[in-house]
Structure 1
Amino acid sequence: MVNNCEGWGNNEDETRSNGGGRYDKGESWENKDDDSSNASYALLAHVRERGIPTQEPVLNKDGQLYSLETFTNCDKEGSSKQCGPYLGFSHRFFENYEFLWSLTETTRLREFYSAVKNDNDLEIVKSVVDAFERDIVPRYTGFTPGVIHGDLNEQNIIVSEVPGQRKVTCDQRVHDVIAILDWAHVTKSYFVFDIAINIAYLSIECEENKQLDVGGHILKGYANYRKINDVEFQSIPLLVCCRLCQSLVYGAHAYSQQPGNEYLISTAKKGWPLLRKYWNADFTNLLNKWKSMIESD
């Protein structure tokens, strides 16, 4: 059975074999290979062993974890608190693995500038990319390296409502993170990148007047598992801007390839205003506010 799924690729098809195994087949500018799949499965096992629920591969009818199939004539219509326990994983595949969505590849956004039609927004993107090259790349030696999830957004986090809140209104109830999904963007990079990615995506979905506070809340939770150094801390606001630029620019490019696939521009409505807000913010004042939030009881 093959069902079309909205996604970033030109054609992402969920395929279910007779044996119950599931895998994704996509024809896109984000390609996968056998080493990538093996490394991802190894990481998923590592994470589950440390108490973080995530998807578990199921053998297909041939007893394999996955298989690669070719389809022709297909219909082509269209918080971070739980991060700590899986840090420290290693696999040979991730040693030299880089791909378009890695924050280390931020300068490749220049290849996709034509997808941004608003001149003012394009100038912001160009400024962010230039700042990344000038200010972030030289700081790599001060960042802590490790394997990161790489796409810790609100759609990849499963939460469960904390019991005992029947008298609390739905929009005020507290939830715990109970599982993390979608490990397709895992790579060996820098831990601070995962923090920035998480802040970027969760800020998009936050109330507008609280968006710039999201970083403080995430960092306060993250501090329970790992301390970040000053170089990393100072870099986070700019890295958040970098991830927002990636999401918005690649989304615009993908949409130009698949007009009508609204998923591809799902972050654009709130994402562009957030990027403008972040880029115009005083980073020093923002970091001081986050520091106060982290140190508060």
Structure 2
Amino acid sequence: MDVQKDKQPSAADMISLLETNIVCTVSHIEELQAYEGRNFYLRIVKSEQDQCDYIGNLTEFVVKVTKCEEMRESKWKSLKKILNCLLHCGFTSTKLLSTYKMEKNGIVYLVLLLNYIPGSPLMYHWSKLDKTMVIKQMGEMVANLHNTLQTLDPSLFAEEKDEENAWVLENASVMLDYLIAIKDEKEREIIDSIIKQFIYLMEQNGEHFKKGIIHGDLHEMNLIVNWKDGQLQPHCHSSGNHTVKDLFGIIDFSSMCVSCYIYEVGQIICDFMVSTCPDNCYSVAVTFLSGYLKCRNLNQHELSILFISIMTTLCQYYVIREHKFHGQTNNEYATLGAKKAYHLIMAYHNMTDIFMSNLSKFLQNDFNIDLKNS
């Protein structure tokens, strides 16, 4: 039993909250997978007395429940501005419609009401899709997303910097304190070495890394897709040409922060590697980069830290899970990828030179980027 979730607001609490605030009848509600906190999908039947302009004609929603201390008012207000900007720029992203506060068991929670993007997470469709095509398309979409986010003022999150958040890659040193949760001494030494190498390279070259607002949690569960005949279908139904922005519905921006774009690139490649091709890290990386580099440049310093960024992300999956969720064996989403991450750490930790040599050849041949002189 996940005791922590049992103490949080439940489906019944959400029904009561929304039927009171929107003046509607909730006809269906179901809990969605979540690493922490709780997420719910729901459908409503609107009342004739409903006067909530902010929901318009919508009848399907997602509600996200988080502790108020984990998302201050300044953050969700910034999120609302950024999401509106992304929608204006043609991305298929969720929209923050409203927020509510509620108390349960002495804790104040923030409830975010979001529009529902039809489809289902990319995670459930890999076996039906052309993986190479989708990963390349994802590279293009992320590059476009980073280009747009880089135009926004990072001060939107000036108050939100959390140096203790181990999920933010430049806070990797926090994981060193978590290594006590890793009982095997050999494993601990390998992971310690990876994290310290990343910290060293970050300190040596960090001034060369482009930085700005990033999504912060852009993985296959936060990408909503529709598919047909092995290909992704656009979310928009208007006639005309479609772009990669139309193929991926982006959700869950609650981890949005200011960070280095190359770190998010490494995290996304890592997630795709775990999900689609654990035997060939290089193949996933070059496929993603072949899409990304068409739309956005990465400099030599950024590309040189890519492999160790991927490895440090694998360490995040494994170490944070062991530290934070030790004993919660039935928390399937919390353990998702952790076992694979462990095996990949053990398989790849000595392959830096091979990966970088192959990456260097690809970059030279396809994009005329010379890593050897970086």
Same fold (TM over 0.5): yes
Task: Tell me which residue corresponds to 1:95.
Answer: 158
User: Does structure 2 conserve the Cα–Cα contact (< 8 Å) formed by 1:142 and 1:231?
Assistant: yes
Task: Write the mapping of 1:6-155 to structure 2, written as runs, cut at 5 A.
Answer: 6-9=33-36, 11-12=37-38, 14=40, 23-27=63-67, 31-58=70-97, 65-72=98-105, 79-83=138-142, 84-85=144-145, 86-88=148-150, 89-95=152-158, 97-99=160-162, 100=165, 101-155=167-221
The count of aligned residue pairs is 275
TM superposition shift of 1:229: 0.5
1:158 paired with 2:228, answer no
Cα deviation per residue 1:241-282 (whole Å; 9 max; x = unaligned)? 111111211122232263421211111221112222332212
Partner of 1:189: 259
Q: Residues 139 and 291 of structure 2 are in contact (CA less than 8 Å); yes or no, is this contact kept in structure 1?
A: yes
CA distance in 2, matches of 1:15, 1:210: 36
Question: Contact conserved, 1:14 with 1:24, CA < 8 A, in 2?
Answer: yes
Q: Find the structure with the greater CA-based Rg.
A: 2
- Counterpart of 1:170? none
> Are the equivalent residues in 2 in contact too, given 1:15–1:25 (CA < 8 A)?
no
How many angstroms does 1:117 deviate by?
A: 2.8
Deviation of 1:205 (Å): 0.7
What letter matches 1:153 in structure 2?
A: H
Shift of 1:54: 1.1
Which of 278, 287, 295 is the matching residue for 2:359?
287
Q: How big is each residue's C-alpha offset from its partner over 1:90-114, in whole Å with a ceiling of 9 and x where there is no partner? A: 2533235333111111110012112
In the superposition, relative to structure 1, how do residues 174 and 119 fare at CA in structure 2: closer, same or farther (>3 Å)?
farther
CA distance in 2, matches of 1:73, 1:96: 26
| Residue 233 (structure 1) aligns with | 303
Partner of 2:259, secondary structure, is: strand
CA contact (8 A) 1:217 1:294 kept: no
Give the whole-Å Cα distance in 1 for the aligned partners of 2:34 and 2:180. 21
Q: 1:170-212 CA distances to partner (integer Å, 9 max, x unpaired)?
A: xxx3436422121111111111112111111011012333332
Distance 1:221 1:52, change over 3 A: same
Partner of 1:205: 275
In 2, Cα distance between equivalents of 1:205 and 1:290: 23
Counterpart CA distance in 2 for 1:67 and 1:33 is 12
Following the alignment from structure 2 to structure 1, what is the Cα–Cα distance between the partners of residues 105 and 366? 53
User: What do you get for the CA RMSD once the two structures are aligned?
Assistant: 2.9
User: What's the CA shift for 1:290?
Assistant: 4.2
2:127 alignment partner in structure 1: none
Name stretches of at least 5 consecutive residues in structure 1 with no aligned partner.
Answer: 59-64, 166-172
Contact 2:31 2:41 in 1 (8 A): no
Q: Report sequence identity in percent.
A: 20
Q: 1:118 Cα shift?
A: 3.1
Post-superposition offset of 1:289: 4.8
Structure 2: gaps (5+ residues): 1-11, 15-29, 47-51, 56-60, 108-137, 233-243, 369-374
Q: Which has the higher contact order (CA 8 A, sep 6+)?
A: 1
Equivalent residue of 1:183, what SS?
coil
Amino acid at match of 1:24: K
Assess if the C-alpha contact under 8 Å between 1:219 and 1:294 holds in 2. no
Q: 1:13 to 1:219 in 2, by over 3 A?
A: closer
Evaluate the alpha carbon distance shift between residue 273 and residue 251 of structure 1 in structure 2; reply closer, same or farther with a 3 A threshold. same
Deviation digits for residues 33-55 of structure 1 (CA, Å, limit 9, x no counterpart): 11111111111111111111111
Moved over 4 A (4+): 3-6, 13-22, 292-296
The amino acid that maps onto 2:153 is S
Flag the 1:152–1:138 CA change in 2: closer, same or farther, 3 A: same
Q: Looking at secondary structure, tell me which structure has more strand per residue.
A: 2
CA distance in 2, matches of 1:91, 1:189: 9
Q: How many angstroms apart in 2 are the aligned matches of 1:122 and 1:32?
A: 32
Maintained 8 Å contact 1:216/1:293: no
Q: Find the aligned partners of 1:284 and 1:22 in 2 and give their Cα distance.
A: 42
Local SS of the residue matching 1:7: coil
Residues 279 and 290 (structure 1 numbering): CA distance in 2 closer, same or farther, change over 3 Å?
A: farther
